[in-house]
Structure 1
Amino acid sequence: MATKAKASGGGNKLGLWLGLALIVILLDQFTKVLILGNFQLGDSRSVTGFFNVVRVHNTGAAFSFLAGAAGWQRWFFVGLGAVATVFITVMLRRHGQQTLFALALSLILGGAIGNVIDRLLHGYVIDFIQVHSSGWYFPSFNIADSAISVGAVLLIWDEIRRVRRG
């Protein structure tokens, strides 16, 4: 059994990385349940001078890309999330011993699944974090989006480190 885990390139850590993705999913879904229970669509509450909690429904992707499409985008993004889930799980199995790389993939996986759950349950993604300054508003986002963004930055950082070593 140890030989098989070693041959799979870090499969022995797969549970750790999937567990981290599960934590992201649970945190994401928990916060969205809180928003659904306490905010009506369009509600906004100021928290600080640069941060609001809002309730926004995003039928598109990042920054509402394709939000105005005829509805096909819901199933497109669900399918894309399913393909990404399989691909990332395979990558985690093969490269689970590469800590920074696997951490990045786990965050992206958890975020992707969190948003797919929204699309399946509601037909849209629930966004609720709004950052703003001097009349400029960054598009609203959620915990899943944050995990995906941090994961993407970590992937870039990991690649830069790999190139510098090589």
Structure 2
Amino acid sequence: MFVYYLIAAVIVGIDQITKYLTVQHIPLYETIEFIPGVVSWTYIQNDGAAWSILEGKMVFFYIITAIVTGVVIYYLHQYAKGEPLFAISLAFILGGTLGNFIDRLHLQYVVDMIRLDFVHFPIFNVADSALTIGVLLLLLYVFLDEKEEKKSKKKN
């Protein structure tokens, strides 16, 4: 279990470092090209969720984060033993959840900075990326687990 908590902690660390560096080096709403036409860094403050939905609903986010964190830890201990893909997906979800939660508690908003220049998409951060990767890995796990379950039923 320790390794999965370590993964979550590394994600939180990278997330918080990138946010700190963004705040220290990029003025609010300014953009710095990183890979022209692909990715740039744009510092914004988001007090909502993706696409700024539910702006200013911090109490709601605190409650949801507490629930998600509890559920993820519970599943990590109860069901992820011996299931590395499931455990890694939960570690990414936990790291992403906690990374943004730290911002919400400390700043009352989330620092976002990664902008994809080739598509119209909300500006996001490392925690958001970890959450997305975690959910995608979880979906992959469910798909593979279901496929394996069907195989074993056919053998019986």
Structure 1 length normalisation: TM-score?
A: 0.85
How far does residue 23 in structure 1 lie from its aligned partner after superposition? 0.6
Identity within the alignment, %:
33
Provide the rounded CA distance (Å) in 2 between the counterparts of 1:19 and 1:91. 16
Out of 16, 20, 23, the residue aligned to residue 7 of structure 2 is: 20
Out of 93, 96, 99, the residue aligned to residue 108 of structure 1 is: 93
How far does residue 63 in structure 1 lie from its aligned partner after superposition? 2.2
Provide the rounded CA distance (Å) in 2 between the counterparts of 1:151 and 1:104. 4
**Equivalent residue letter for 1:20:** I
Alignment of 1:23-102 (within 5 A): 23-48=10-35, 49-67=37-55, 71=56, 73-94=57-78, 95-102=80-87
Q: Which runs of 4+ in 1 moved over 6 A?
A: none
Unaligned runs of 5+ in 2: 150-156
1:140 to 2:123 alignment: yes
Deviations for 1:54-74, whole angstroms, at most 9, x for unmatched residues? 10111111221112xxx3x11
Provide the rounded CA distance (Å) in 2 between the counterparts of 1:63 and 1:155. 23
Structure 2 length normalisation: TM-score?
A: 0.90
3-state SS, counterpart of residue 52 of structure 1: strand
**Equivalent residue letter for 2:38:** F
Aligned residue pair count: 147
Deviations for 1:130-157, whole angstroms, at most 9, x for unmatched residues? 0022xx4311000000000000000110
Provide the rounded CA distance (Å) in 2 between the counterparts of 1:155 and 1:120. 27
CA RMSD of aligned residues (A): 1.0
